[in-house]
């Protein structure tokens, strides 16, 4: 992402790469936090989840490859195509399909809380793939985080508001998929530019989604789209996908997957704020029912788990 950072060097030349990475993660997760409720606003009345993912991937494949063609003259080794194909499956296709189908069925708050299980999943995948050591603190944190996420999913089948068991399950599977993607992508960051990696990830993701996404896209009633619909799609494509993925992959180049994934805990805060505004400022009762003590306690339980994971182990 040097082409993005270099014009700013005159003003921010003294900022360390790790600081830039943390700022990138901050921006990405604020964008993601707002996306829970923004994307849900047009599904399924205006567009189906699969068609939405098809638009998201097709537009961003063009954007990423245009940037790579203009700025990043780099080729990949054939032996790395398999890992890139797996990253495309877990980081673009499965990840996005599960998220959009999940958020279509469940509450934005539920989805944002369940996503906070990602750091725990990243920790597990890092231990299995990158051979990172799991300490006693990490085991305790994993246990608490898992209890919080699983409890919320089960609660979703009985709750009022816009919660649902199936939607919550899809979001959990999405978190698993994204966590695995972060760990797999880390193995490529030492060899290639961030834009090179993300370009191939989205190309493979688009190839996976195309066979069943194109038909739903062609059957979408675009005449029913309003200005708000186009603005929502624009936000998801430009911010939630293009900028957020660039920010995340840039951060992954300078930070560990565990640190990168830990920023996901900003997302429930943003989601809670937006849902509260809709519920109590714009008086939308279905969102008011989404805020209750069970969900707040679930969020706290998962957050405590992550705090314990990140706390240094005493010798």
Reported as a single tens digit per residue, the pLDDT across 71-129 is 888 999 999 999 999 999 999 999 999 999 998 888 877 787 788 778 778 888 888 88
Which domain, by its residues, includes 118?
Answer: 17-310
Residue 286: asked if its preceding bond is cis (omega within 30°), the reply is: no
Note whether residue 304 is domain-resident: yes
Query: What angle do helix axes 227-235 and 17-40 make, rounded to 10 degrees?
Result: 150
Q: How many domains does the chain have?
A: 1
**What span, in angstroms and rounded, lies between the C-alpha atoms of 237 and 52?**
9
Assess whether pLDDT exceeds 80 at residue 314: no
Question: Is 153 contained in some domain?
Answer: yes
- 9 lies in some domain: no
How do residues 34-50 score in pLDDT, each as one tens digit? 887 788 778 888 999 99
Please indicate, yes or no, if residue 8 is contained in any of the structural domains.
no
pTM of the model: 0.78
Note whether residue 216 is domain-resident: yes
Determine, yes or no, domain membership for 10. no
What's the average model confidence in pLDDT over 239-246? 92
Contact status, residue 248 vs residue 193, Cβ threshold 8 Å: no
Q: Tell me whether residue 2 is in a domain.
A: no
Is residue 9 pLDDT above 70, yes or no? Answer: no
Mean local confidence (pLDDT), 152-173: 74
**What does the alpha-carbon distance between residue 127 and residue 122 come to, in Å, rounded to a whole number?**
8
């Amino acid at each position: 992402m040097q082409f993005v950072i270099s014009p700013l060097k005159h003003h921010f030349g003294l900022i360390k790469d790790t600081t830039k990475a943390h700022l990138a993660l901050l921006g990405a997760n604020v964008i993601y936090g707002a996306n829970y409720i923004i994307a849900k606003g047009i599904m399924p009345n205006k567009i189906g989840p699969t068609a939405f993912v098809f638009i998201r991937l097709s537009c961003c494949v063009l954007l990423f490859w245009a940037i790579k063609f203009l700025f990043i003259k780099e080729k990949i080794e054939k032996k790395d195509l398999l890992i890139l194909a797996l990253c495309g499956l877990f980081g673009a296709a499965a990840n996005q399909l599960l998220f959009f189908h999940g958020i279509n069925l469940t509450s934005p708050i539920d989805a944002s809380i369940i996503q906070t299980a990602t750091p725990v999943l990243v920790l597990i995948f890092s231990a299995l793939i990158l051979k990172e050591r799991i300490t006693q603190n990490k085991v305790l944190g994993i246990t608490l985080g898992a209890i919080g996420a699983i409890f919320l999913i089960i609660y979703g089948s009985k709750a009022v508001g816009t919660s649902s068991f199936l939607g919550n399950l899809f979001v959990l599977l999405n978190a698993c998929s994204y966590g695995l993607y972060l760990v797999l992508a880390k193995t490529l960051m030492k060899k290639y530019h961030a834009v090179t990696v993300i370009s191939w990830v989205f190309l493979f993701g688009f190839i996976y989604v195309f066979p069943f996404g194109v038909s739903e896209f062609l059957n979408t009633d675009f005449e029913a789209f309003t200005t708000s619909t186009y603005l929502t799609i624009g936000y998801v494509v430009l911010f939630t996908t293009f900028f957020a993925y660039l920010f995340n992959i840039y951060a992954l180049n300078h930070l560990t997957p565990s640190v990168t994934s830990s920023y996901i805990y900003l997302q429930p805060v943003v989601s809670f704020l937006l849902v509260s505004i809709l519920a109590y400022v714009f008086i939308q009762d279905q969102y008011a029912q989404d805020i209750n003590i069970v969900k707040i306690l679930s969020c706290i339980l998962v957050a405590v788990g992550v705090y314990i994971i990140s706390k240094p182990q005493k010798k």
